[in-house]
Amino acid sequence: MVGIIVSSPGVLELIAQAPLVPPEAGEVTIRVERAGICGSDMHILHGSNPFARYPRVIGHEFAGQVMQVGSGVTCIAVGDRVVVDPVLPCGTCYPCRIGRPNVCGNLQVLGVHRDGGFRDHCNVPAASCVKLPADMPIEVATLAEPFAVAANVLSRTGIGAEDIVLIYGAGTVGLTVLQVAKLHGARCIISDPDTARLERALGFGADVVVDPRAASVADAVRDENDGLGPTVVIDGAGIPALLLEACQVASPVGRIGLLGFSAAPCNISQQEIVKKELTLVGSRLNKQFLGPVVGWLAEGKLRPAAMITQTFAAKDARAAFDLIERDPASTIKVHLDFMN
C-alpha cells in the first residue's frame, strides 16, 4: 500500500497508505493502476500552486478498477475499469447552474484541494468515473485527463476544419492541443524554441513548426489565411509576454485561448482586440470532456502511445520526479505504475 504525498512544499514522501475505508454513499473505491505526472503536480511539489494545501496526496490523472461501490451507486459496478475526472463541482453555485462546473465557485480538484490518485486505492464520487471500453489499455485511458484539458480550451475558442491554429509550446499541453485540433480537421502551426520538441510535434501531425530563435512567429504565420494570420491562437506555454504577440498575429475575428496560470501582468494592446474583434478566453481544467476523449481514444483518433515517454513503478516515484526536474526535455508524459 503506497501513497505519494507532498508533506510540505519541496518534500515528496512515499507513505504507507492508511487502511481502506469503505466508500460513502455515491462513492466508489478505485484500485488505481496507472497515473500520470502533470506540470501541476510539479507546481504543488514546488509550492507554486496557489490552490494546494499540505500535506497532500497528489495526482489527478489516474485510472484503475472499481473494487467496491457505496450505497446508491447504480451507474458503476464492481469490476468496471474507469478513468476519473478530478474536477469536483458543488453543482449549485452560479457557474454550476449555467453549465460551467469546471470554474465552480466551490471547486475541489482531486490531488489539489483534496487527496488525489497517487495511491493504491482511493474513494471518488461515482459520478466522476468514466467507464472504459474493455480493450482500452489502462495507460491510454490515463491520458484522458490531459487530452480533456486540450479539448476544453478548443471548445472555449471554438474549433473546426476551417481553422488555422497557432500553438505556443510543444510540451505536453501543446502536443495534446495539436492532436485535438487535428482531429477537428484544423491546420496547425506550433512554435517552440527547442528543436527536439519541434521534431516531436511533426510526428504528432503539426503542419508547420516554428523555432522562434530562427524566425519570428509573426513572419512564420504571415502568409496563413490569405495573409490575415491564424484564426485560433493557444498559449500552451503559459508565458504572459506571448499574449501581446498573439493579439498581433491573430486574424480578424481570431480567438485566443489561455491556459497558463502566471500572476504576472502583461501589456496587451486594446487596439488589436477592438480593431479585429478578437476573443480572449481562459480555460481551466475541463468541463466533462473525459467521456468524449475516451471515445476519441477508442476510435483511434489520437496518438496516445507516443505521449508516454517513461513509466516508473510507483515505489520509484522519486526517480520519476527527479527525471522531470533534471531532464524535462526527455519527457512528454511520465507514468507511475501502481500495480508494480
Per CB under 5 A, residues contacting Mn ion are 38, 146
How far is 208 from 214, CA to CA, in rounded Å?
Answer: 14
Closest residue to Mn ion, judged by C-beta, is: 38
Closer residue to Mn ion, CB minimum distance, 143 or 243: 143
Closer residue to Mn ion, CB minimum distance, 38 or 167: 38
Closer residue to Mn ion, CB minimum distance, 52 or 268: 52
205: left (phi over 0), alpha (psi -120 to 50) or beta: left
How far is 27 from 177, CA to CA, in rounded Å?
Answer: 32
Nearest to 34 by CA among 58, 64, 59: 64
In the complex, minimum distance from the CB of residue 38 to Mn ion, in angstroms, rounded to a whole number: 3
Which segments within 70-133 are labelled E, that is strand?
A: 81-84, 87-88, 108-109, 121-125, 129-131
Q: Which amino acid is at 317?
A: A
Q: Using an 8 Å Cβ cutoff, are 193 and 213 in contact?
A: yes
In the complex, minimum distance from the CB of residue 285 to Mn ion, in angstroms, rounded to a whole number: 8
Closer residue to Mn ion, CB minimum distance, 102 or 251: 102
Instruction: Record the cell numbers describing residue 175, joined without a space.
Output: 502536443
In the complex, minimum distance from the CB of residue 89 to Mn ion, in angstroms, rounded to a whole number: 17
In the complex, minimum distance from the CB of residue 87 to Mn ion, in angstroms, rounded to a whole number: 11
In the complex, minimum distance from the CB of residue 272 to Mn ion, in angstroms, rounded to a whole number: 31
Scanning the structure block, which residue is given the C-alpha cell 510539479?
42
Burial call 46-59: b when 16+ CB within 10 Å, e when fewer:
eeebeebeeebbbb
In the complex, minimum distance from the CB of residue 226 to Mn ion, in angstroms, rounded to a whole number: 37
Closer residue to Mn ion, CB minimum distance, 146 or 257: 146
Closer residue to Mn ion, CB minimum distance, 146 or 254: 146
Nearest to 150 by CA among 44, 254, 253, 259: 259
